[in-house]
């Protein structure tokens, strides 16, 4: 038996382990609007071939959400991106525990690059040229991130065979991972000291600027008040002179 088979990835897919025929993979990667018609075609073909049990299994597959179908399709259209994201996600935990910050960050970047491409392709398939809403983008991204959080769902994602939307909120495996910290070097400590001094200077400058702005506002208020008093006095003087002239 090959190494791939020992890992459970040879021959039939994970879907087949659960009792679904291989035709289910094709069905789960069609455009959302084509799902029902494609299911009917596959069922009819299987029945004609005498595979009634398989036809029944396909007929019982409920239409997944649009999010699931477009992500499945994106994984089929961009298989390398899906595999790259899944492999990076698979190695993240071990790397985090090993205390390798550089490798950890590289894996995070690799996972985000792959999942980002999948997300963009999925959103494009879903929006069909229209501007995608923030809600749509968030649901797609959350589904992909959730699918990357377990070994089983990663396998289904890379094959474009997910059957339901995976929630990332609440159990996202990567949200709780902390980036391992390397021991700071003398250079890093020096840089940290410089940064602290810079931040202190910035805080002091912000305080001085705030005080100067407040003083300016007060002075401008006094100027406006003086101008108002001057105008009132000038008006009163003009009124008195007018009265004298008329008298």
With the CA atoms of 4, 7, 10 and 14 taken in that order, what torsion angle do they form, in degrees rounded to the nearest 10?
A: -150
Residue 182 scores a pLDDT above 70: no
Tokens 């390798």 — which residue? Answer: 100
Asked whether the beta carbons of 166 and 147 are under 8 A apart, the reply is: yes
Backbone Cα Rg of the chain: 33
User: What distance in Å separates the CA atoms of residue 42 and residue 35, rounded to the nearest whole number?
Assistant: 11
pLDDT at 177: 46
Q: What is the pLDDT of residues 77-116, one digit of tens each?
A: 999 999 999 998 888 877 766 667 788 888 888 888 888 9
| 50 — pLDDT class (breaks 50, 70, 90) | very high
Structure tokens at 203: 């805080």
pLDDT at 75: 92
Q: Where are the domains of the chain?
A: 3-158, 185-247
Asked whether the beta carbons of 10 and 159 are under 8 A apart, the reply is: no
Asked whether the beta carbons of 46 and 22 are under 8 A apart, the reply is: no
pLDDT, greater one: 237 or 41: 41
pLDDT, greater one: 62 or 132: 62
Give ∠ CA 217-221-224 in degrees, rounded to 5: 135
Q: What is the pLDDT of residues 133-176, one digit of tens each?
A: 888 888 898 999 988 988 888 888 988 888 888 876 533 445 44
Tell me what percent of the residues of the chain surpass a pLDDT of 90: 20
Q: String of b and e for 30-57 (b: at least 16 CB within 10 Å)?
A: bebeebeebbeebbeebeeeebeebbeb
Among residues 79, 84, 71, 59, which one has the least CA distance to residue 29? 71
Mean pLDDT calculated for residue range 173-186: 49
Under 8 Å CB-to-CB from 99, ≥6 apart: which residues?
A: 180, 182
Give me the helices (H) in the chain, please: 3-6, 14-17, 23-27, 35-48, 52-59, 66-77, 79-98, 101-127, 134-147, 151-158, 186-246
User: What distance in Å separates the CA atoms of residue 93 and residue 129, rounded to the nearest whole number?
Assistant: 38
pLDDT at 102: 80
Q: What is the pLDDT of residues 185-206, one digit of tens each?
A: 555 555 666 777 777 777 766 7
């Amino acid at each position: 038996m090959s190494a791939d088979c020992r890992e459970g990835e040879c021959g039939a897919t994970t879907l087949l382990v659960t009792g679904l025929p291989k035709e289910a993979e094709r069905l789960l990667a069609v455009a959302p609007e084509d799902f029902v018609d494609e299911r009917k075609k596959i069922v009819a073909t299987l029945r004609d071939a005498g595979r009634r049990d398989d036809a029944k299994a396909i007929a019982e597959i409920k239409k997944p959400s649009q999010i699931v179908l477009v992500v499945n399709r994106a994984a089929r259209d961009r298989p390398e991106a899906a595999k790259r994201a899944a492999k990076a996600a698979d190695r993240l935990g071990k790397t985090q525990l090993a205390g390798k910050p550089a490798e950890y960050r590289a894996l995070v970047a690799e996972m985000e690059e792959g999942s980002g491409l999948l997300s963009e392709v999925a959103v494009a398939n879903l929006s069909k040229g229209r501007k995608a809403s923030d809600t749509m983008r968030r649901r797609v991204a959350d589904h992909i991130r959730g699918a990357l959080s377990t070994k089983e769902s990663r396998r289904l994602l890379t094959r474009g065979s997910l059957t339901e939307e995976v929630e990332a909120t609440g159990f996202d495996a990567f949200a709780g991972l902390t980036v391992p910290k390397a021991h700071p070097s003398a250079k890093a400590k020096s840089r940290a000291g410089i940064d602290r001094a810079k931040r202190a200077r910035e805080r002091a400058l912000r305080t001085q600027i705030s005080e100067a702005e407040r003083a300016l506002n007060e002075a401008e208020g006094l100027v406006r008040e003086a101008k108002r008093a001057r105008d009132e006095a000038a008006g009163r003087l003009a009124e008195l002179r007018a009265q004298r002239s008329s008298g």
